[in-house]
Amino acid sequence: MGTGRQTQIGNIDLVKQLNSAAVYRLIDQEGPISRIQIAEISQLAPASVTKITRQLIERGLIKEVEQQASTGGRRAISIVTENHGFHTIAIRLGRKDTTLALFDLGGTLLTEKHYPIPDDSVPALEQALFAVTESFIAECAPVLQELIAISVILPGLVDPVQGIVRFMPHLGDTAWPLVRNLKARFNTACFVGHDIRSLALAEHYFGASRDCADSVLVRIHRGTGAGIIVNGSIFLGSNGNVGEIGHVQVDPLGDRCYCGNFGCLETIASNTAIIQRAKSLLAQGYQSELTASTCTITEICTAANQSDLLAQHLIKDVGYHLGKALAMMINLFNPQKIVLAGEITAAENILFPVIQRCIDTQVLNDFRRNLPVVRSQLDNRSAIGAFALAKRAMLNGLLLQHLLGE
């Protein structure tokens, strides 16, 4: 008897969450919008819309604005979201450093700081992370009003539902209950996600893939990762992880990858691999404007753009192998857009045509027709991917219900 009643209450709470989220999402994405328009689009009863908007206004999450009536008559009352005053600390945890950023609900970056971080063990990493977060909160005091969430993104294998970090490339298996520990320390809503998949979501909310529901983002940095957006949501497997494009084998006789296999894409199309290859070729005596002592991805891209043959060869080789892996992704997921992120995109005039040739020759005709391949519009070093997790929790109602106290 009790179980049935609990299920009923749970269902009612879920309906409230979904209805509130539907209203808030419309206001966020379509505002200024009237209550009548909200009711028509959401198909909720006008009375329900009125009740939900009243709650949101009382909480300060939305506000009414007057719009000039098109007929020249009485001004219509419409609603927009109120983003100022609600703040998220977004954290991008790297292998040796971390970026902390403060965002308002509209995605405006208010301040950002970078800190070195130890990489020898999970306890040391957590202790340092929590210490720099406390320091960052103290530094943000002049602008920080209501802290509604702390959100962390990182490389590795993450269970975003349980809030557990399963594996990190430089630490191995971790079983780190990060969300639980963050909540206990900072007493606010907390989220954790994979860095590249979260960046793909941020690109969908704020960047190059805003205009489509299905997209694939590939980022080349220390590793090579992908985020797949399907119908406006991150595509996830049952354990929260999917899209490991960096571990697609592209060269059976290639170098050994840290994952244990040989010839993974990551052993060719990552900043580390590109720089190592450049230094190896320079050591063998190949002519170039590059020098082994100062060789960076930025310098390789600059040299390639200035017609340096060795630098162009390096970029084209990445494009060829990356293009093969992307062709597989396109044939599997049929996205509306491919977004590439990372410092190597500075050489897009050399890189993108090679990728395009792979797509043209290896992808189904119907899948490659009108398929743009574009650069990321977001700063690859920023923590905006972490903020996207908090934004998603507002739009799907999880964080929204927490703020409404329901």
pLDDT digits (tens, 9 = 90+) for 371-405: 999 999 996 667 999 999 999 999 999 999 999 98
Q: Tokens standing for 347?
A: 């050489």
Matching fold, domains 2-81 and 209-375:
no
Number of continuous H segments (helices) and E segments (strands) in the chain: 13, 15
Answer for the pair 102, 164: CB distance below 8 angstroms, yes or no.
Answer: no
Rounded-to-integer distance, Cα 130 and Cα 19, Å: 35
What are the sequence ranges of the domains in the chain? 2-81, 86-200+383-404, 209-375
Rounded-to-integer distance, Cα 266 and Cα 225, Å: 8
DSSP 3-state assignment of 310?
helix
Mind listing the pLDDT tens digit for each residue in 203-260?
Answer: 999 999 999 999 999 999 888 889 999 999 988 766 656 678 888 888 888 889 888 8
Chain centroid to CA 230: how far? 14
DSSP 3-state assignment of 347?
helix
Multiple choice CATH, 209-375, 3.40.50.10490, 3.40.718.10, 3.40.50.720, 3.30.420.40: 3.30.420.40
* Reported CATH class of domain 86-200+383-404: alpha beta
Rounded-to-integer distance, Cα 215 and Cα 61, Å: 30
Query: What separation, in Å, do the N-terminal and C-terminal C-alpha atoms of the chain show?
Result: 24
- Burial-class residue 12 by CB neighbours within 10 Å (0-12, 13-18, 19+): exposed
Supply the pLDDT for residue 68. 54
Q: What average pLDDT does this structure show over 30-42?
A: 93
Supply the pLDDT for residue 160. 87
* Strands ordered across the beta sheet of 157-159: 157-159, 164-168, 172-176
Answer for the pair 122, 136: CB distance below 8 angstroms, yes or no.
Answer: no
Mind listing the pLDDT tens digit for each residue in 114-172?
Answer: 999 887 889 999 999 999 999 999 999 999 999 999 999 998 888 888 999 998 887 88
Q: What are the φ and ψ backbone dihedral angles of 158, each rounded to 5 degrees?
A: -125, 140
Supply the pLDDT for residue 9. 47
Q: How high does pLDDT run on average in the chain?
A: 90
Say if residue 32 is preceded by a cis peptide, omega within 30 of 0. yes
Rounded-to-integer distance, Cα 247 and Cα 85, Å: 42
Answer for the pair 16, 2: CB distance below 8 angstroms, yes or no.
Answer: no
Rounded-to-integer distance, Cα 78 and Cα 59, Å: 17
Answer for the pair 295, 274: CB distance below 8 angstroms, yes or no.
Answer: no
Rounded-to-integer distance, Cα 285 and Cα 7, Å: 72
Mind listing the pLDDT tens digit for each residue in 208-224?
Answer: 999 999 999 999 988 88
The yes-or-no verdict on residue 71 having pLDDT over 60 is no
pTM (two decimals)? 0.89
State the Cα angle at 268 between 192 and 156, rounded to 5°.
15
pLDDT greater at residue 15 or residue 36:
36
| Largest distance between two CA atoms of the chain | 81
Q: Which of 342, 290, 264, 352 is nearest to 315 (CA)?
A: 352
Q: Quote the DSSP letter at residue 98.
A: E
Supply the pLDDT for residue 2. 53
Residues 6+ apart with CB under 8 A from 320: 354, 358
Residue range 2-81, CATH number: 1.10.10.10
